[in-house]
Structure 1
Amino acid sequence: MSTQHKTTSKEPKQISTKGISSSLLTGSIIALLIIITPYLFYSYESFPDSQTWETFLFSYTTQKYGKINVLAWTLIGKLIPLFLLTIWFLTCKHWWYHAILVPIAMYVFQLVGAANFDIQFIDEVEIWFLIPIMAIIVPLVYLIRAKIFASMHNPTLEEIEYELQNKKNIFTHFRDLFRN
């Protein structure tokens, strides 16, 4: 009769150096892009200080902004925050990351408004376009929060009944929604 002895020694986990180097490269590229954003913002100074921009590919004359560098300053002023918010949205690991879509949508609308020369007033009506987006995102974020809260606390039926029977004013309900 032979007895086999099983050894229960724990071997160290093999960590893939390929996965680590890929993650390190991606993180380094993202960090570099964030670091160069001030330089990207001030690139508007390299645009011509005139109403017409002539290159070998095209010729562009601005009507509304007066000078090309003012147009570039306006557009870059919308693109840089949009760029940084997009990076934040794509790399955020928190449960509320969908809420970042609201300012992203706002900057997209502002960018379209700034690029569209037929609009008389910029940054004034975008909030009306954001209402449908917010109507989707805000309940989504709250639903995710509620599911996380419910999974962490698992209230009993008695606790739920007690909460429903207690009369509270609107401020107490609001405070209770956002307490930890």
Structure 2
Amino acid sequence: MKKLKIKTDIVIVTFIVLMPFAFYLYLLAPYQTKIWTTSFFVIDAEYYELVRHYLWINFYLLTTLLVIAIWFLTCKYWWRYVLFVPLIFQVYQYLFFLNWKSMYYSGFNFYHSLLISIPILTLLHMLSKKMGYYSIKKNYKDELNKEIFHLMNDLSLFEQNDYLIANKQFEILKKKKNMISKRKYLSELLVLRDSFIKK
């Protein structure tokens, strides 16, 4: 499970690192070109005048959409569902960008984009649950609370006599602090702490 988590984190970090470079892919398009034809694809700028403008807007919208999606997937806080609102708007903007002609003339509006946004949001929610960043944070919090409870319970069983002895040893150790090395001082502090807890 831990190896899978590390691999997932590496993929996400790599994706985040490469995203700014993907944003500048529009620079690969020929300058002052309205239609870019290669052996693999044809890009027609249409309304956007130049292919570079078309690609710049495309990568801008897509990068923003992916950043918000990654933020939602990796967010460990309960308020992450608020990110659905900008995600819905970003999906709408990207759909409008891809089909601006049909959407403009057919009266396609924001409510229609919800039909497409809902499956995307459902998929993101399922991926988020599968990745488990929120539940991992909750598990760490529970473990910390249990450990604090046990330590406090051990300390509450500590008797007054033992406290006076430990305090006296600590005072002696503080006086010796300038005469011994830092490493020795820290190791003696740890020994004192361990004896304090074990009692």
Smaller-chain TM-score bracket:
0.5 to 0.7
TM-score of the pair, normalised by structure 1: 0.54
- Spell out the pairing of 1:32-43 with structure 2 (5 A cutoff): 32-43=14-25
CA deviations 1:22-71 (Å, max 9, x no partner) are 21111111011111111111111112320011111343322101111110
Structure 1, unpaired ranges of 5+: 1-18, 134-180
Structure 1 residues 73, 93: closer, same or farther in 2, change over 3 A? same
Q: How many residues align?
A: 111
2:30: which partner in 1? 48
State which of 70, 75, 78 in structure 2 corresponds to 1:95.
78
**Superposition RMSD on alpha carbons, in Å?**
2.6
Structure 2 residue 26 is the aligned partner of structure 1 residue 66: no
Instruction: State the shift of 1:128 in Å.
Output: 10
Q: Give, as a single letter, the amino acid of the residue that structure 2 aligns with 1:66.
A: E
1:110: which partner in 2? 93
CA deviations 1:90-149 (Å, max 9, x no partner) are 1222111111111111111011111223156xxxx759978xx9xxxxxxxxxxxxxxxx
More helix by share: 2
- Spell out the pairing of 1:162-173 with structure 2 (5 A cutoff): none
Alpha-carbon distance in 1 for matches of 2:26, 2:78: 36
Percent of pairs identical after alignment? Answer: 28
Q: Give, as a single letter, the amino acid of the residue that structure 2 aligns with 1:116.
A: N
Q: 1:106 touches 1:127 (CA, 8 Å); kept in 2?
A: no
Alpha-carbon distance in 2 for matches of 1:92, 1:76: 23
Structure whose alpha-carbon radius of gyration is higher: 2
Q: Give, as a single letter, the amino acid of the residue that structure 1 aligns with 2:35.
A: T
Q: 2:23 touches 2:59 (CA, 8 Å); kept in 1?
A: yes
2:5: which partner in 1? 23
Q: 2:91 touches 2:113 (CA, 8 Å); kept in 1?
A: no
2:165: which partner in 1? none
Structure 2, unpaired ranges of 5+: 118-199
After TM superposition, the runs of 4+ consecutive aligned structure 1 residues lying more than 6 A away are 127-130
Alpha-carbon distance in 2 for matches of 1:97, 1:79: 20
